[in-house]
């Protein structure tokens, strides 16, 4: 007889809705609350503004003939507009493939071809690489977050009339196509449905406690499943404020935790090592932290205890796969 190991947590009820409707489930109630704070500039997007921009971006995609069966490549660091593009694509009925913004032209081209992307969204700084990467692909338009002579500004796309969710089969429609690390060869696209993403967020609810005063530091990349689901989508779905960082810098992270009284810090083991060992930690007030979560690689028990004692905060370890 097989042995079935059951979770001590309650059974998970999975809502049969789109990932965007799940993530924005508290947006109307919290319309004036900051959904995103850009860590570098301090720029704020409220939940109300986020919902509106997502629906307008979806409308702009619809005007371009982008719909079910179309794929958009998103090549950007952690900025508030990431969620606008990610979810706007889903609302339009398309698929978003998330691309590592540190890739070179050949690596981006491989993913564009493999995912059959027709639109690429990126930032000003990455435009020279993007222009080279689209050569020989099916990309017909580049949308830039900012301004560039050879791309359509995102601000222009957001002038479109907002639309509601295009009808798709939530159980079978592939809304996101992140790529694996390629440990067994070239990176491979992982086909994830609305149902996959919603189920994952529902699973996390019993494991990661939040309230509507919670906030999270988002330094881990949104193109990766950890950053995409646990940081971006998970925090927003629980009405938390996301303080985004385009890349991790220890001093900048400490300053943001202290300034914004951040309650949740999502990390990888090298960051936990810094919390345990770096002398500069003592120069900052980290008492707002309620939970530090480490993932993506194993974290030893001794290092966990040392860092936890140092900052007087619980540190837990999570495990998950892109698949």
| Beta-strand relationship, 192-193 and 174-176 | antiparallel
pLDDT for the residue 155: 98
d(CA 271, CA 216): 15
pLDDT for the residue 17: 97
pTM of the model: 0.94
pLDDT for the residue 323: 60
Q: pLDDT per residue over 112-166, tens digit each? A: 999 999 999 999 999 999 999 999 999 999 999 999 999 999 999 999 999 999 9
pLDDT for the residue 322: 62
pLDDT for the residue 9: 76
The ranges assigned to domains in the chain are: 47-193, 196-317
The contacts of residue 164 (CB under 8 Å, 6+ apart) are 55, 91
Pick out the chain residues at pLDDT < 50.
none
Cα dihedral sign for 284, 285, 288, 293?
positive
pLDDT for the residue 205: 86
d(CA 161, CA 91): 13
Domains 47-193 and 196-317 share a fold: yes
| Third-level CATH fold of 196-317 | Rossmann fold (3.40.50)
The contacts of residue 1 (CB under 8 Å, 6+ apart) are none
| Third-level CATH fold of 47-193 | Rossmann fold (3.40.50)
pLDDT for the residue 317: 84
Supply φ then ψ for residue 9, to 5 degrees.
-85, 160
Helices (H), 119-210: 127-133, 154-157, 194-205
pLDDT for the residue 319: 77
Q: Quick one: the chain helix, strand, coil %, rounded to 5?
A: 35, 15, 45
């Amino acid at each position: 007889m097989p042995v079935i190991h059951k979770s001590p947590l309650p059974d998970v009820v999975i809502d049969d809705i789109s990932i965007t409707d799940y993530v924005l489930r508290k947006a109307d109630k919290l319309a004036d609350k900051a959904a995103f704070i850009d860590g570098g500039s301090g720029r704020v997007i409220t939940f109300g503004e986020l919902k509106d921009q997502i629906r307008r971006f979806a409308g702009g995609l619809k005007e371009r003939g982008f719909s079910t069966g179309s794929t958009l490549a998103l090549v950007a660091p952690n900025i508030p507009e990431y969620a606008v593009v990610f979810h706007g694509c889903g609302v339009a009925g398309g698929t978003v493939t998330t691309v590592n913004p540190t890739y070179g032209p050949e690596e981006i081209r491989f993913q564009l071809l493999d995912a059959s992307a027709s639109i690429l969204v990126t930032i000003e700084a990455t435009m020279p690489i993007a222009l080279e990467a689209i050569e020989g692909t099916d990309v017909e338009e580049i949308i830039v977050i900012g301004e560039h002579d050879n791309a359509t500004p995102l601000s222009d796309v957001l002038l479109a009339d907002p639309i509601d969710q295009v009808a798709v089969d939530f159980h079978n429609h592939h809304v996101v196509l992140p790529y694996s690390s390629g440990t067994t060869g070239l990176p491979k696209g992982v086909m994830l449905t609305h149902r996959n993403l919603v189920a994952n967020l529902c699973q996390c609810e019993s494991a990661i406690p939040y309230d509507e005063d919670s906030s999270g530091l988002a330094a881990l990349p949104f193109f990766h499943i950890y950053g995409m689901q646990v940081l971006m989508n998970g925090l927003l779905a629980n009405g938390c404020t996301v303080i985004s960082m385009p890349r991790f810098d220890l001093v900048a992270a400490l300053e943001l935790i202290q300034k914004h009284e951040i309650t949740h810090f999502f990390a990888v083991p090298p960051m936990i090592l810094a919390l345990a060992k770096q002398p500069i930690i003592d120069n900052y007030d980290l008492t707002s932290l309620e939970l530090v979560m480490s993932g993506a690689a194993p974290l030893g028990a001794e290092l966990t205890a040392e860092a936890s004692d140092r900052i007087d905060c619980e540190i837990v370890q999570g495990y998950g796969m892109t698949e």
